[in-house]
Structure 1
Amino acid sequence: MFAQKLKLSLGAFAAAGILLVSQASAASASKFTDVPSTKPYANAVYELAERNIIGGYEDGTFKPAASITRGQAAAIIAKLRNFDTRNVKDPKFKDVRQSQWNYGAIAALANAGVINGYGDGRFGPNDSITRAQMASILVKTFGLPPYSYSSSENPFTDTQSLASHQTTINILYKMGITSGTSLTTFSPNAPISRAQAAVLIVKTEKVKESTITLKAADYGWDSFYTYSRYDQVDDVIHSIPSDRSIWKEIQIIPMREGTAALSLIGRTKDPVTGEESHEEYQKFYVHVKQEDGEWKVKLEQSEDITSTEVSLNTGPDKVNKVSLATMEGTMLQEEVKLKPCNYAVTQAVSTCFSIDDPGEYVAIVHYENGKTVRYGVSAAVHESSFNLFIRTAKEQPEVTIDPGGTPNELGKHVLPEGSGKIASVTRDKESNKFTIKGISEGIVHIKFPDSKGAIEELSIDVRKIGSIIDVRATFSDRYH
């Protein structure tokens, strides 16, 4: 009788270890009594069970609310990603024996840098794995892109102080894999339940399967020099380098249906001279559609130049309308269609509209107070970009600037050689008042070698687009 009880106890102990990674004979994946199809996690649970990644218990249950140990999580991930659990190097965790049923999985994940132990040399195979720990394991296992972490974009107030897991939790959030346990919490230190783990695993798999990896080497480049960056919540795609420093790969993650314009510029280095080149490029439309619950991503090569935003720094006064003309004065549009500016930082002081064709234009801003101001607009083609390269210059051909104080305090001014070709600079007699008239585009730095105060330099920046000249002048001191 004692022997029979011992045999049953050992059998139950073994089953507890393997039921997570092998389908229990007494619990068909289609008949978990505690996982009705109406549950939000049911699809994920049954999908993994049918693939023999996780299983149920002999009583026909799945126990969705039960927690998972760190050792069990290692076994699940090893089976999910087909890790070699036989040819492994001993990670030398104090509490993981080679005789343990999940030793190979723990060692394989440790060897791959997916999991770590505690500071005292233990792994804690029987400790419940937390939601934060599972987030980090999934990010490392699937090689998810390293989004730059920004606390202002992180909605979870309970992950802000986490030293090691806040970045990986943010990655899952940015990719749409997790929405947390509430709008403002992730519950990082809570044990993850079997149902939660199943959902996170399946979602991560699906996102990874739909991700396209672009390799610089496929275009004959050493690395990417620059690329169209997308990482906002409403973007059609996210474009994230696989590595934050070397940029040899860029991952394209579909976020919603639509089309995004993607421009890539390569970096090549001459093997003999070491000279870098950034001349080669590739441009694509990235079309994203969802079919039968799966993302379909198609890259279409293109040489298009698309409509581009023009942003005019019009200030706080209310704008009535903006007209657009050629540099020669021919009216093109009596009233252009204004649009919200893409850059929220400038919306309070800027007015924006779009230009389709390259060239030089005059934009006339009509204010409600009757004032009008002219701006020069240059729209140049950059073949490597879908957008025109936009420059603007507010018509301000002459400015007067006076820092105050006495002429003796400021001392004499010294004009650099050739400055007269850029701007005409006059100083009122026995005064610190300067009148500057722009002539051609360029920068002039006027020095005050005998200044007895803080002022050291007068910087003049002349911008010229067609016949529009914009003069800007500022004094700077020796402390900046």
Structure 2
Amino acid sequence: MKQIKGKKLMTSLLAAALTTTLLTTPVFAKEFTDIDRGASHYDSVTALYDAGIVSGYTDGTFGVNDKLQRRHGAALFAKSLSLPVPSDVSAVLKEYYVDVPSNDPYASIIATVTPSIFKGSNGIFGATQALTREQMATTIVKAIGLTDNGTNPGINLSNVSASHKANVKILAQYGITNQFSNFSPGDSVTRGQFATFLQKALNAKVSPSIALEDGFFAFNKLAKVTLQVSNPADYKVYAEGDPLEYKNGAFVGVVETTSLQEVKNSLLVIKK
């Protein structure tokens, strides 16, 4: 998808034609060795990596099929939502958990997402335990602030724990999951799956509208993204790994594709 030289030239010409300056510095997408271009979760992992939200392992892999630990889920929420660290981390941890000491490497992160997103169970956070898919649903709904929109998506909730049913349904309402016949609620969520869920959830909150306009080359388009929020300038928008510039109510930038779906798959919207 990336054609850097063509993109530089395209950007220069568009900038002159539109008499405006676009954010055009190309960002080289990280190629993890365990997730091929076009594979499930590739777009989401790449989008989150380019935005500085996720990272891989030192061996060059992302660990796409590895189970996501609860502490890592907490870190992804804290970073993607730019959540403030509480003034007294020790006090928060002492109130809610017996298994997270104040000198834990993830102490401030865990305190940041407590109790608004995570609360643990019986005083246990379980930092290195795997996050289940139904737990993931509840944390995402709480983190993003999604609410029941009143529709019936037709998802099977019979095997979902009572405390998570409503939130799994909400994920389905917003198109964040397509596993309607069996959500596999008790299974551990993988790092790749969580990346996709998180990207979709972040975008669902702001309902982005995407338009592509012709440029000077067949393989390039000018993307314009509008957000259904009162203060769009409070957000950052990435398409194909590149930041789009906020101009006159829309986020604008050059993309190297003629496919609206490809842009949609790579889109990431995060709060500043």
The superposition leaves residues 58-108 of structure 1 with CA deviations (integer Å, 9 ceiling, x where unpaired) of: 111111000111111111110111111252442320001111111111111
2:21 alignment counterpart: none
Deviation of 1:115 (Å) = 1.1
Q: Superposed, which structure 2 residues align to 1:280-319 within 5 Å?
A: 292-293=263-264
Is 1:48 matched with 2:51?
no
Q: TM-score, normalised by structure 2?
A: 0.62
Residues 149, 167 of structure 1: 8 Å contact kept: no
Deviation of 1:31 (Å) = 2.1
1:347 alignment counterpart: none
Please give the alpha-carbon distance, in whole angstroms, between the structure 2 residues aligned to 1:153 and 1:293.
24
1:176 alignment counterpart: 175
Is 1:102 matched with 2:106?
yes
1:77 alignment counterpart: 77
Please give the alpha-carbon distance, in whole angstroms, between the structure 2 residues aligned to 1:34 and 1:62.
7
Q: Superposed, which structure 2 residues align to 1:207-246 within 5 Å?
A: 207-210=204-207
Q: Superposed, which structure 2 residues align to 1:175-214 within 5 Å?
A: 175-180=174-179, 183-210=180-207
The superposition leaves residues 383-421 of structure 1 with CA deviations (integer Å, 9 ceiling, x where unpaired) of: xxxxxxxxxxxxxxxxxxxxxxxxxxxxxxxxxxxxxxx
Distance 1:133 1:149, change over 3 A: farther
Please give the alpha-carbon distance, in whole angstroms, between the structure 1 residues aligned to 2:185 and 2:193.
13
Residues 155, 184 of structure 1: 8 Å contact kept: yes
2:133 alignment counterpart: 131
Please give the alpha-carbon distance, in whole angstroms, between the structure 2 residues aligned to 1:108 and 1:38.
34
2:120 alignment counterpart: 117
Greater Cα radius of gyration, structure 1 or 2: 1
Q: Which contiguous aligned blocks of 4+ residues in structure 1 show a shift greater than 6 angstroms?
A: none
The superposition leaves residues 239-271 of structure 1 with CA deviations (integer Å, 9 ceiling, x where unpaired) of: xxxxxxxxxxxxxxxxxxxxxxxxxxxxxxxxx
Is 1:141 matched with 2:112?
no
Residues 134, 168 of structure 2: 8 Å contact kept: yes
SS for the counterpart of 1:110 is coil
Distance 1:83 1:170, change over 3 A: same
Please give the alpha-carbon distance, in whole angstroms, between the structure 2 residues aligned to 1:106 and 1:30.
27
Residues 138, 164 of structure 2: 8 Å contact kept: yes
**Amino acid aligned to 2:156:** P
SS for the counterpart of 2:195 is helix
Residues 29, 56 of structure 1: 8 Å contact kept: no
Please give the alpha-carbon distance, in whole angstroms, between the structure 1 residues aligned to 2:132 and 2:126.
12
More helix by share: 2
Distance 1:211 1:39, change over 3 A: closer
Residues 93, 101 of structure 2: 8 Å contact kept: no
| Count of residues in correspondence between the two structures | 184
Please give the alpha-carbon distance, in whole angstroms, between the structure 2 residues aligned to 1:41 and 1:55.
14
Q: TM-score, normalised by structure 1?
A: 0.36
Unpaired runs of 5+ residues, structure 2, are 1-27, 210-259, 268-272
Deviation of 1:153 (Å) = 3.6
Deviation of 1:147 (Å) = 4.1
1:30 alignment counterpart: 30
1:374 alignment counterpart: none
Residues 99, 126 of structure 2: 8 Å contact kept: yes
Please give the alpha-carbon distance, in whole angstroms, between the structure 1 residues aligned to 2:205 and 2:197.
12
Deviation of 1:29 (Å) = 5.1
SS for the counterpart of 2:66 is coil
SS for the counterpart of 2:30 is helix
**Amino acid aligned to 1:168:** N
Q: Which has the higher contact order (CA 8 A, sep 6+)?
A: 2
SS for the counterpart of 2:47 is helix
**Amino acid aligned to 2:117:** V
The superposition leaves residues 109-150 of structure 1 with CA deviations (integer Å, 9 ceiling, x where unpaired) of: 114x211111x2111111101111111111011110134597
Please give the alpha-carbon distance, in whole angstroms, between the structure 1 residues aligned to 2:205 and 2:113.
19
Please give the alpha-carbon distance, in whole angstroms, between the structure 2 residues aligned to 1:77 and 1:37.
25
Unpaired runs of 5+ residues, structure 1, are 1-27, 213-289, 296-480
Residues 138, 201 of structure 1: 8 Å contact kept: yes
More strand by share: 1
